[in-house]
Chain A
Amino acid sequence: MSEAINKAVLESTQIAIMEQLPETGVPARSPLAHQQQTASRTAPENPGVYLWESALKTHLALRGDANNADFANGVEAATGLALPEVLQSNHNNEWALSWIAPDEWLLTGPGDQALAMEMSLREQLGGHYAVINVGGGQTLVRLAGPRARSVLMKSCPYDVHDRNFPVGKVVNTVLGKSQATLRRVGDDEWELVVRRSFADYIWRWLVDASQEYRLSLEQPTQGASKNRAGRLQASPVEN
């Protein structure tokens, strides 16, 4: 990875940029690895809800001013994604960019790309901005299936009806007594960004809320992706 670091960026920056992933052979443990291990592997017939962790991804918080062209264009140049509007997200095959707050976006993508993407962003961005690697502090939880929406209705006060929450929309909302960033990624599929320390609570909350809908802790097969990050020793159900 070191050769990927643009020396010019490193020399000019007044920010401490750091490769935070080990070189090889060091096992990573995602925030929900313990739940994945203990979960029953026998999926029910015809599940109404699927729940799995999309673990060990890159999570970069981007702070900046959408009206600053050096920031907005830079983000697009580095990620290939335009800055999404309020409560929206944009994504391509690898990366998803979600609106979080008026001056904040979240970029998620392949787990081994954190530093390369941060460097690329810093190369492209101008003006007052910040890039913060937060990948160790949060994880992605996917909730899918015909009853996924019912589980969300039990869990958060925001209106998740089709008319109010089309695919691509993002909100930060209350989940149980914690919180999550909720993005609708498909008709029946949602992604939750949850903080590491709250992940166990949220997982158990969602498992509990799914009880009556026949819960599968496997990813549904048709949506499976082969995009397994090579250097990460991912948990068995990570996509």
Chain B
Amino acid sequence: MTQPNRLDNGGRIDRSKHLTFEFNGRRYKGFSGDTLASALLANGVDVIGRSFKYSRPRGIVAAGAEEPNAVFQLGATEATQVPNVRATQQELFNGLVSQPTSGWPNLQFDFLGVFGSILGRMLPPGFYYKTFMFPQAAWETYEKYIRKAAGLGRSPRDPDVDTYDHLNQHTDVLIVGAGPAGLSAALSAARSGARVILADEQAEMGGALLDSRETLNGKPASNWVRDALKELSGYDNVLLLPRATVNGYHDHNFLTIHERRTDHLGDRAPANQSRQRLHRVRAKWVILATGAHERPLVYGNNDLPGCMLASAVSTYINRYAVAPGRRLVLMTTNDNAYRAAFDWQDAGREVVAIVDTRAYADGAWQDEANRRGIKLLKGHAVIDAQGKMRVTGAVVAGLNTDGTQLTGKGEVLNCDTLASSGGWSPAVHLSCHTGSRPVWDDDVIGFVPGKTVQKQLTAGAVTGCFSLADCLADGARIGAEAATNAGFNAEPAAAPSVRCRPETRPMALFCVPHYKPNSRAPKQFVDFQTDVTAAGIELATREGFESIEHVKRYTAMGFGTDQGKLGNINGMAVAAKSLNQSIPETGTTIFRPNYTPVTFGAIAGRHCNDLFEPKRYSAMHEWHVEHGALFEEVGQWKRPWYFPKPNESMQQALDRECLATRNSVGILDASTLGKIDIQGKDAREFIGRIYTNAWAKLAVGKCRYGLMCKEDGMVFDDGVTSCLAEDHFLMTTTTGGAAGVLEWLEFYHQTEWPELEVYMNTVTDHWATMTIAGPNARKLLSELTDDIDLDRDNFKFMDWRQGTVAGVPARVFRISFTGELSYEINVQANYGLHVWEKLFEHGAKYDLTPYGTETMHILRAEKGFIIAGQDTDGSVHPYDLGMSWAVKEDKPFSFIGKRGMKREDCVRDNRKQLVGLKTKDPSIVLPEGAQAVDNPNHPKPVPMLGHVTSSYYSANLGRSIAMGVIKNGHKRMGETVHYPLVDGRVVEAEICSTIFLDPKGERQNV
């Protein structure tokens, strides 16, 4: 297997390391140091994809991030599939497997290729919008085939086998780009002692210096790069990040860097190493030294394989020792691109002609071309590329001085490679991310970064400064400035000497005219990835799209994964010309993050799988797991949901747990309930202002239930608060509301009542809480404590006592969420598991039954106890709940929500009120959320009365029970409402009290 385009000498590849790789099912060879693109070019692979809309054959155009065509699917296995990889940025490794993402069913012959002209007519600009519009339903059908043919790659079907992570970085100076300006800036900043991060998207740092023909201090530029990097890597305060694309520039100098750590090593990352890393950087100052992208010229059939950027030709020759053809025609508007022809000739290949669009070009570069004997056609342009699967010729014609018209007849030059350069567009992308609009500069013939509000500096080609000497000096100066701004004493590093060759002024030319109008000329592509032509942009302007943002959206220009890095400026120029205005008048679209595509893995980092979300555990969690609990997520807590026995259905388990609790004794892990320790001489007053009910007289040793409202009078949390001592209270909250309630208390204390002497602290995790409930609860507890008097008259319902339970100091609260005789035992959490296990040792004879949240819900619903957040939803006040007993209207200071619940809307008739519901058929359990209506046969829309908030089957009652809100429900006791269900059934239910069991509360007062 030979590599026909590989040069015998030169390049920065390691010829001793042979690599084998696969593309499109065929095996090829390359060298270490190759990119996938350079290796394909070395192997003479011309067609690497088919175009998006017209299915035209496409080849490699560029050598960097701006490549629009060579976007591949990588991966040797299903789990390692990566779509959207630019071959120009993918380093070659042994065993690399790649596929074209376009060209269905195959590259050489494809469906769209044959029927392309028909489809092309069916896919005019604005095609997406037009298919969206009509007929709407057809889009789903179009989409499937369009996507397949268009080639956007595919996601893997198997889980990713690699890991990805994040690293948070902080730095004084972040320098983006390690070309001449970036390296110089880094030297200046690093020597000052500032913390510096230098990030570059390429494997090797040095940027344009790596393929430069110029010398620094009389030596090859790469020597200077080597020395600079050696110095920088010796500093503790410098972090060099190669293979790291700064892909997003966000507010407050927060930048994200996508580092590809192992993508160059193989299909999978080595063990214990993350494949890619997202650096999240806070930089005091940022230097954008992002360089510039060469702009191709737009001409007929400019998308044929063999049409390339002039600078890419130089890069492939000098860096990779690949001459991507035999016979070159170069078209240029500037002197800089001449080096492509010189490199080509030095590589021993034939330069057919340099076609310079400038009649006035007459300087050192033209002299050298003449000296080299290269045919130089000044005042000419290539108007059309010839060939089917690869360039075979270039049609060249004379061009008038302002580049608007052709002069004379065309001539065909035989060639297989057609390089073009329309000048350089500064890579302003990152500067745009923060909202700064780039500004047109006539001298640069391009947009340069606009005014910024960030602590951002720019250096080198991104500013439109294209000469190497200027870039080096600019970088050194800006590097010192950034470090100085960050508080260091910095001096600009001395710039190396460069022998400069003067350049003749470039010409502003974007789209080469044709004999025919653009609409009839051979297709002149502006955006290769989305197949947007000059004619398409003109059509858009004719159809009335005058704003460049509209033109972009109508034609899809710049919508590809390359964000139009190559084509956007040309497209704007075409639009401007068509609209008969200047480019600055036309304006530009701007770029968003990310600069190049980022894998989802890098975005997710380690926030995936088991670490996706914190799981909170109580001190008894291990016991629950061992005893077969199924878990419910409540907030981030994993709470036991129910404890099924083998072969038990969920309902059977719930029935068993419910009956055991009501008939003997059950136990619940209630540790997750929020617990807030409140201390201070004003604690009581503070609590009285937070809750709706009265707290002034709650004695030490007593507990009380309370409702909390927001200012609007709507219930948002509830719980029992106990008076531990005169200035000391323990508040409990719902599990999910714990953090919110503590913030609420702090908020009111800090902003409204700072004069109250009170401190609140969470003790949720400090206490393990176990609730034993049921007629045998007292008997069980008495076996484990000898210092608490459990006598019914000495330790009453809503009392708490301190003592020892199972040898552990405990606070025991006689409160009940089940309506049973019930004790909540609180011990320091490190002893929770011990006490829990002791309870089971002694509880066996009482059939002590663990129950989870579901049984807890059923038992509390049997008693009509609400759950804040389930039976309330932010639109329910205490009176709606029938809980006027929990509102103390005449407290001296008022309380939060008092005024809110007096608003006109809150006191009107016909509010939704919480009621109990009994279905006529006791076996039917209403679905929660079902809507009540009075008359299911009412013509639509049927007036709705309110929804079911809680609904269960109660084994204790042998029937279903439910709670729900019904308009005016409190006055409709005994009436029947109807619940039409999704399945067509209509369930009848009777409105009743929410207390289904033991209405007098006798069971808990025993």
For A129, the closest partner residue in chain B by CB is: B759
Q: Is the CB of B809 within 8 A of A18?
A: yes
For B261, the closest partner residue in chain A by CB is: A212
Q: Is the CB of A136 within 8 A of B274?
A: no
Q: Which among A25, A154, A197 is the interface contact of B606 at CB below 8 angstroms?
A: A154
Contacts of B765 in A (CB 8 A): 134, 136-138, 195-197
Q: Which among A23, A26, A63, A159 is the interface contact of B761 at CB below 8 angstroms?
A: A63
Please report the C-alpha to C-alpha distance between residue A31 and residue B832 in the assembled complex, in whole angstroms. 11
Contacts of B611 in A (CB 8 A): 176, 201, 204-205, 208
Contacts of A34 in B (CB 8 A): 622
Segment of B377-385, B526-534, B720-728 engaged in the interface with chain A:
B720-728
Contacts of A133 in B (CB 8 A): 766
> What string of 1s and 0s marks CB contacts (under 8 Å) between B608-619 and chain A?
001101111111
> What string of 1s and 0s marks CB contacts (under 8 Å) between A161-199 and chain B?
101100000000000111000000000000000011110
State the main secondary structure of chain B at its contact with A: mixed
Contacts of B217 in A (CB 8 A): none
For B757, the closest partner residue in chain A by CB is: A128
Q: Is the CB of B637 within 8 A of A14?
A: no
Q: Which among A130, A135, A159 is the interface contact of B282 at CB below 8 angstroms?
A: A159
Contacts of A208 in B (CB 8 A): 606, 611
Please report the C-alpha to C-alpha distance between residue A77 and residue B326 in the assembled complex, in whole angstroms. 88
Asked whether B895 is an interface residue with its Cβ less than 8 Å from the other chain, the reply is no
Size of interface on B: residues with Cβ below 8 Å to A: 60
Contacts of B167 in A (CB 8 A): 150, 153-154
Please report the C-alpha to C-alpha distance between residue A195 and residue B921 in the assembled complex, in whole angstroms. 49
Asked whether A86 is an interface residue with its Cβ less than 8 Å from the other chain, the reply is no
Please report the C-alpha to C-alpha distance between residue A196 and residue B622 in the assembled complex, in whole angstroms. 14
> What string of 1s and 0s marks CB contacts (under 8 Å) between A53-91 and chain B?
000100001010000000000000000000000000000
Interface residues of A in 117-148 (CB under 8 A from B): 128-130, 132-138
Show the binding face of B for A, using Cβ within 8 Å: 165-170, 195, 272-274, 280, 282, 606-607, 610-611, 613-619, 622, 637, 672, 677, 679-681, 724-728, 757, 759, 761-768, 802, 804, 806-809, 811, 827-834
Contacts of B610 in A (CB 8 A): 204
How many cross-chain pairs have Cβ atoms below 8 Å apart between A and B? 158
Q: Is the CB of A137 within 8 A of B807?
A: no
Show the binding face of A for B, using Cβ within 8 Å: 13-16, 18-23, 25-31, 34, 56, 61, 63, 103, 128-130, 132-138, 150, 153-154, 156-159, 161, 163-164, 176-178, 195-198, 200-202, 204-205, 208-209, 211-212
Closest-CB distance, A33 to chain B (whole angstroms): 9
State the main secondary structure of chain A at its contact with B: loop
Using A164-B170, A198-B614 as known contacts, list a sample of 4 further A-B pairs with CB atoms less than 8 Å apart, ordered by residue number in A: A14-B726, A28-B834, A31-B829, A154-B167
Please report the C-alpha to C-alpha distance between residue A137 and residue B560 in the assembled complex, in whole angstroms. 52
Q: Is the CB of A28 within 8 A of B830?
A: yes
Name 10 interchain pairs, CB-CB below 8 A, sorted by A. Answer: A15-B727, A22-B807, A26-B834, A27-B834, A28-B831, A30-B830, A128-B680, A134-B761, A136-B768, A153-B167
Q: Which among B169, B614, B617, B761 is the interface contact of A177 at CB below 8 angstroms?
A: B614
For B811, the closest partner residue in chain A by CB is: A18
Contacts of A197 in B (CB 8 A): 616-618, 637, 672, 764-765
Contacts of B809 in A (CB 8 A): 18-22
Please report the C-alpha to C-alpha distance between residue A166 and residue B717 in the assembled complex, in whole angstroms. 42
Closest-CB distance, B677 to chain A (whole angstroms): 5
Contacts of A103 in B (CB 8 A): 759
Contact (A161, B195) CB under 8 Å given A21-B809, A28-B830, A205-B606: yes
Contacts of B802 in A (CB 8 A): 16, 18
Q: Which among B280, B622, B680, B830 is the interface contact of A56 at CB below 8 angstroms?
A: B830
Q: Is the CB of A196 within 8 A of B829?
A: yes
Contacts of A212 in B (CB 8 A): 272-274
Q: Which among B166, B616, B728, B828 is the interface contact of A154 at CB below 8 angstroms?
A: B166
Q: Is the CB of B168 within 8 A of A157?
A: yes
Contacts of A15 in B (CB 8 A): 679, 724-725, 727-728
Closest-CB distance, A95 to chain B (whole angstroms): 19
Please report the C-alpha to C-alpha distance between residue A164 and residue B763 in the assembled complex, in whole angstroms. 32
Q: Is the CB of A177 within 8 A of B168?
A: no
